[in-house]
Chains A and B, each alone.
Chain A
């Protein structure tokens, strides 16, 4: 049976949905949110405590000039390619996620554009190992596979943003 995923709490008003009913408005809004999200993410990750890189430093790690980074941090720059994002991801040692979500999921995810929501930790094997199996191919008991919010917060030492899917979504049916 298919699982329907619905938001537990609404993050938007009926008036906002009415506004989105215009297709041109909707896609202009969505495109700008995504572009701004990418530009802000690149900048905030660069400035994040522990990195504090200049544009020149990030450029050096991508083997690109500072001016290239400056363009990427401009929401109006419309030529960010998937390859570019992979290069930035490698520089930050972060994975990249590209999806075509449904509107409800997208709106909820894009809601929080605070600095804290953009800051991400680079690859950390010790942290990942806290969630790994003890031996390759060996499954953990079912009860150990699902981590609650409090378990995650206690283990990671960080709280989830309000728009994190695990916190705001519930599976129905």
Chain B
């Protein structure tokens, strides 16, 4: 039976959906590619959530995974974590020279993950148009 993943987005203390806010600031090209990746990943078996379209992170970033895509020579890395078949996006970073921008993307991402675990109101269902 086909799997369909759910997506959720991190909501900050002021009630702002940070992922949607990031998306709204992006160019149409970035938006198009991001929507394409969400569409594709949500249909993939867990064993296909692997490089290259996706990668689970290790070391100081363990517990987070990154959606990987490039547009205009910028490597975009929306970060998130998995709970069953839900992927909650917590922070949208970019990667330059093997390092994240912002530099504290993993620390901040993991902190947001903890916030989401502690308070269900710190995430919401995504409102991207995938169908």
Contacts and interface: CB of A to CB of B under 8 A. Distances in A.
Interface of A: 11-13, 15-16, 19, 22, 24-33, 36, 39-40, 43-44, 73-76, 112-116
Contacts of A29: 32-33, 35-36
Contact of A40 (B48, B51, B69, B129): B48
Given A25-B28, A32-B32, 6 more contacts: A11-B131, A16-B130, A28-B28, A74-B52, A113-B43, A115-B45
Nearest to B27: A24
Interface in B20-46: 27-33, 35-37, 39-40, 43-45
Nearest to A37: B40
B68 interface: yes
Contacts of A30: 32
Q: Give the 6 A-B residue pairs with the shortest CB-CB distance, closest first.
A: A28-B32, A29-B32, A32-B36, A24-B28, A25-B28, A74-B52
A28 B71 contact: yes
Nearest to A74: B52
Contacts of A113: 39-40, 43-44
B66 to A, nearest CB: 13
A53 B56 CA distance: 24
Interface in B49-97: 51-53, 68-71
B36 A36 contact: yes
B interface, size bucket: 20 to 34
Contacts of A75: 52-53, 69
A45 B28 CA distance: 32
Interface of B: 2-3, 27-33, 35-37, 39-40, 43-45, 48, 51-53, 68-71, 129-131
Nearest to B68: A76
A76 B69 contact: yes
B131 to A, nearest CB: 6
Contacts of A114: 2-3, 43-44
A74 B27 CA distance: 23
A116 B44 CA distance: 10
B32 A27 contact: yes
A32 B130 CA distance: 14
Contacts of B51: 74
Given A32-B37, A114-B2, A25 B29 contact: yes
B129 A36 contact: no
Contacts of A16: 129-131
B129 A19 contact: yes
